[in-house]
Amino acid sequence: MFKKILIANRGEIALRILRAARELGVTSVVAYSQADETSLPVLLADEAICIGPASARGSYLNVRNLLSAALVTGAEAIHPGYGFLSENAEFAEMCEEHGLVFIGPRPQNIARIGDKASARAVAFEAGVPVTPGSEPLPDVAAATAFASTIGYPVILKASAGGGGRGMRVVQSPNDLERHFVQAQEEARAAFGDPSMYMEKYLEEPRHVEIQVFGDGNGEVVHFFDRDCSIQRRYQKMLEEAPSILEPDLRERIAEAAVRLAKHIQYRGAGTCEFLVDREGNFFFSEMNTRIQVEHPVTEMVTRFDLVQEQFRVAAGEGLSIRQEDVRVEGHAIEVRVNAEDPDHDFRPSAGVVTDVHWPGGPGIRVDSHVYAGYRIPPHYDSLIAKIIAWGPTREAAIARMERALRETVVEGVKTTIPFHLRVLDNAFYRRGAVFTNFIARRMST
């Protein structure tokens, strides 16, 4: 096991990684921007080092500064968390070139499957069904030509993307150029890569994903499924595990995810995302080559620590978990508490948190870096906490989540908690009729 690692991220995921490392006896160095100097991960870190100004490009996306920080502090490995450089194959390769272990997939894994466009070709090779889609599109003309072959509606996606950034649904040829340019600019700002590709857009699917882990030598274990259908502008808002699927369909989707990961001898944590239509047909969408924001719901129903397993695999210890060890117990729901105003089109609400009280009690987990007096910076994602509720049944998990949200107090900024309470009270949600258009079709906001 490593003696010291650098955490190249911020917020709740930096704190989550720090806690996992501490339980394993690993010293953590938290890399932080000037805007995050007083964040909880920095305050709790064994060591902390400033890597640049508030802008992500000058700090959390600054490869040179991050590598220098790892080397000067004597770290043996870098954990990238999610977002930022977590799916950047060049960064993973540069870590290796500088004698640092990248706690994630090998660079070739990321290059091959982390790029959303090439991932489709890999899935096809592995015999995993995919929606009709393109190679990377060099310009609007190429996008127009391809859209005419598969028909509208289509969806544009950032090849290097994730988290809903750089995605646009296009309903007609008249809208394509505008959406293409907007998606490119969003992808360039978020990932430093404007590459786009296109897929046929399915009108009302479920978004189901499978958590996988590979040892890099062909052994792969899955941790069953999550439903992430409740999304706003392709950003997930609420996730749950397991999905509401027939057992046979769940088994077939999990088997496809494992087959895909084995096909490329995948190493570390990964998530295969699928769209499932009303007829029970499923199509591979993309693979995220990192730990996911929503990993806690999987941890709650399987009782395994996925971040610690990342450490073990990256350290060369192999998988400590066999497939027969993985079972699902009960149901878990996660809501993303964002500093946003849901009554005003989810407008960001940066500022000082004057008071905060997180919920507790049976079956409740809170992952948050926020404390009373903390100033939420305007430079990054608005996520300030994840509240996770576990129950023996889905109904019990919903009841616990409602109770937990009503216990929660966050003052000084607006949050999405009122929105989540409306979701939980929605009759369609309660009976499991959730699709990716749920918010647009079933909610008033």
The residues assigned a catalytic role are 290
Asked if 111 contacts 263 with a C-beta cutoff of 8 angstroms, the reply is no
Q: 331: which 2 tokens?
A: 């149901």
Give the other-Cβ count within 10 Å of 171's Cβ.
12
Closest by CA position to 413, among listed 364, 361, 374: 374
SS3 assignment, position 228: strand
Asked if 330 contacts 390 with a C-beta cutoff of 8 angstroms, the reply is yes
Sheet containing 47-52, strands listed edge to edge, beginning at the edge strand earlier in sequence: 47-52, 27-33, 4-7, 77-79, 101-102
Which uninterrupted H or E stretch holds 371? none
**CB under 8 Å to 2, separation ≥6 — which residues?**
26, 76, 77, 101, 311, 314, 315
**CB under 8 Å to 24, separation ≥6 — which residues?**
1, 308, 311
* Omega within 30 of 0 (cis) for the link into 362: no
The C-alpha atoms of residue 54 and residue 75 are separated, in whole angstroms, by 23
Residue 102 bridge partners (DSSP): 78
Burial of 239 by CB count in 10 Å (0-12 exposed, 13-18 middle, 19+ buried)?
buried
